Amino acid sequence: MEHRRISGIEEIPPLSPREKECILWTAKGKSSWEIGQIIGISVNTVNFHIKNVMKKTDTGSRITAAIKALQFGIIEL
């Protein structure tokens, strides 16, 4: 499910609770390994969720995805 632009305004993409959790820790500067340790999942699973966030926010990096999630109000630091 991708978000679409309506009248030049981006819709907020829906993120799962786990995607929000992973991108929040990314925004706080944690590596995939650290995020996995914090929330008790594998590095591969962390990367899976972060890649989903990148797709949903139409971004090319995890940092840009975290910035967009902050801008959209999906997460707060």
Q: What is the pTM of this model?
A: 0.86
Residue range 15-72 forms a domain whose CATH class is mainly alpha
pLDDT at residue 12 in the model: 85
Please choose, from the candidates 37, 9, 10, 8, the residue with its C-alpha nearest in 3D space to the C-alpha of residue 22: 37
User: Which pLDDT band, with edges at 50, 70 and 90, does 7 fall under?
Assistant: low
Distance CA 23, CA 62 (A): 8
The conformation of residue 8, written as its DSSP 8-state character, comes to: T
Q: What is the pLDDT of residues 24-72, one digit of tens each?
A: 999 999 999 999 999 999 999 999 999 999 999 999 999 999 999 999 9
Q: 67, exposed or middle or buried, with CB in 10 Å at 0-12, 13-18, 19+?
A: middle
In the chain, domain spans: 15-72
